[in-house]
Amino acid sequence: MSAGLFLSLEGIDGAGKSSHIDALEALFKAAGRQVTRTREPGGTPLAETLRTLVLNEAMDPLTESLLVFAARRDHVVQVIEPALARGDVVLCDRFTDATFAYQGAGRGFDQAVLATLERWVQARDDAALLQPALTLWFDLPPEIAAERLAGARLPDKFESQPVEFFRRVASGYAARAAEAPRFARIDANRSREQVWAQVEAVLAERGLIGRHTR
């Protein structure tokens, strides 16, 4: 059985990351892999309920962070860890990096508290933290992201934030990327075909096309 493989897709709202999950799923299935496709906040009935609260209800940053990590814990226990144990490829639309970017950099919440919650929620039996093997970071200037989002649909409370908020979120992603070699920056200010070509190139460079490791 192949080892499980955990990939996350990150980026500010409007960066277009979600539009490439279908192609990623098809790519790995064509290689004979089982794929578990999921998202955060969400991925389980409980986590989806918490997602609705986080995206739509006003709350202070600590409450918001606690709810996000509560949803994540249920998601890890109920979906991600079992899928990796089966040898699946897990494709997750956002994971903990989003919390450091949105609640940490965007909201200005204490990064040390987030790091503590991260350790509590993602600790594994071997004391290591559960983290993606690869994080595809779809990097797009906030001004362009705002143009893409304009009029798309009724925005949630994050999507309706001003551009300055997304500048802070983008800086949060850049800070995480600078600390973690698992990050691969994707220039999302390109055509869909050009963005996908970058994704394929990263997968090839990391040895994830044709040879899969956890």
Query: What is the rounded CA–CA span in Å between residue 207 and residue 76?
Result: 25
- pLDDT digits (tens), the chain, 214 positions: 678 999 999 999 888 888 899 999 999 999 999 999 999 999 999 999 999 999 999 999 999 999 999 999 999 999 999 999 999 999 999 999 999 999 999 999 999 999 999 999 999 887 789 999 999 999 999 999 888 877 666 678 888 888 999 999 999 999 999 999 999 999 999 999 999 999 999 999 999 975 443 3
- Annotated binding residue at 12? yes
- Annotated binding residue at 157? no
- Annotated binding residue at 11? yes
What's the Cα-to-Cα distance from 211 to each of 11, 26, 96, 171, 187, rounded to whole Å? 26, 16, 26, 33, 25
- Annotated binding residue at 17? yes
- Annotated binding residue at 43? no
- Annotated binding residue at 106? no
Please answer whether residues 136 and 195 qualify as being in contact, where contact means their C-beta atoms are separated by less than 8 angstroms: no
Residue 212, token pair as written in the block: 């899969």
Q: Alpha-carbon torsion 155, 161, 166, 169, what sign?
A: negative
